Amino acid sequence: GCFKAVLNMVSIDTKFLFQDSCGLEGSIDHELRLDEFTGVIVPIPSSANRQKKTKDLLNQGVSFAPETFQDPREPKIKFAHGTTTLGFTLDKYVVVACDSRASMGSVIASNTVKKIVHINDFIVGTIAGGAADCQYWERVLTTECRLHELRNDEKITVAAASKLLANIMYSYRGYGLSLGVIMAGYDITGPSIFYVDSDGTRLKHHLFSVGSGSPHAYGILDSEYRSDLKEEDAVELARKAIYHATHRDAASGGTIRVVVIDEHGARSVWEGDMNELHEKYQKAKAKYRSDQMST
């Protein structure tokens, strides 16, 4: 740790001399950095080779990333992963919905996690994967978005914000971060959503669902989604999709939260326990069945 701090303070040439004399030459490969004065790309220790370095160090008995950190079958420390989050765009607004369960293996760690993060008044991000990673990096993204606003005197677009996050994720490839974020917002180009994950993937589409409950949510969304839905129908669709995912997926549950973002900003439109919805839908199903029987 201290050694690294010293390395960061000296110039490039001194760094390499230092490494030579300490006999570390062989284990460090080169990444590229843009020198702000000359505009020239200079080599510095690489992140792309971190995976190789991790494996090498593992052979020596040292490891950091979850895959090498502990046996995946017998984990000593379990990470919270199970979730269902979804988002879709309509003509003039975006709907985002999440459950609120954090599960560690077969233990429910919490049923009241806030999985929708407000990046700014017009953009939200969802949390899926490693809760700590998501919370931390979305917080970093919030600061970067605010800086963009201050420097350029204009609101950041959802495309730019998601690109910032995706680039950060890409530069940390191989470090074992775990994120599956849906970035949703309303900007000068209208409503849009992007999917960003810890590999550095960034995708644009009108409909996304992320998490262990996403297959169930997709079933509901794909059958009933239309781009011209009214707000109350869209919110009901989002609620229904999350409910069905929480019903069938053990790692999803708790309170369902739905957020709508339009030209006036992001607002929370519904928050309720999935068990209440369960009773409502069961009653509706019972009624449907009895109607069928009587006709």
Instruction: Between 167 and 201, name the residue whose CB sits nearer to another protein.
Output: 167
Sequence-distant (≥ 6) Cβ neighbours of residue 28 within 8 angstroms:
19, 45, 46
Q: Does 39 bind another protein (CB under 8 A)?
A: yes
Indicate the burial class of 174 (C-beta count within 10 angstroms; 0-12, 13-18, 19 or more).
Answer: middle
Stretch that binds another protein, among 4-12, 34-42, 177-185, 252-260 (CB under 8 A): 34-42
3-state secondary structure of 89: strand
Phi/psi of residue 58, each to 5°?
-60, -40
Instruction: Between 65 and 159, name the residue whose CB sits nearer to another protein.
Output: 159
Binding to another protein by CB under 8 A, coded x per residue (else -) over 233-252, reads: --------------------
Q: Applying CB under 8 A, what is the total number of residues that bind another protein?
A: 10
Instruction: Between 70 and 171, name the residue whose CB sits nearer to another protein.
Output: 171
What is the nearest approach in angstroms of another protein to the Cβ of residue 39?
Answer: 5
The two three-digit tokens of residue 171, written as one number? 């530069």
Q: Does 37 bind another protein (CB under 8 A)?
A: yes
Binding to another protein by CB under 8 A, coded x per residue (else -) over 97-136, reads: ----------------------------------------
Nearest to 111 by CA among 126, 97, 98: 98
Stretch that binds another protein, among 31-39, 93-101, 125-133, 218-226 (CB under 8 A): 31-39
Stretch that binds another protein, among 21-29, 36-44, 95-103, 230-238 (CB under 8 A): 36-44
Considering 38, 54, 83, 295, which one is annotated as catalytic? 83
Q: Does 36 bind another protein (CB under 8 A)?
A: yes
Q: Does 142 bind another protein (CB under 8 A)?
A: no
- Of residues 160 through 179, those in contact with another protein by CB under 8 A are 160, 163-164, 167
Instruction: Between 81 and 148, name the residue whose CB sits nearer to another protein.
Output: 148
Candidates 83, 89, 157, 252; binder of another protein (CB under 8 A) is 157
Q: Does 145 bind another protein (CB under 8 A)?
A: no
Residue 83 catalytic? yes
What is the nearest approach in angstroms of another protein to the Cβ of residue 163?
Answer: 6
Q: Which residues are catalytic?
A: 83
Q: Give residues in contact with another protein (CB under 8 A).
A: 36-37, 39, 152, 157, 159-160, 163-164, 167
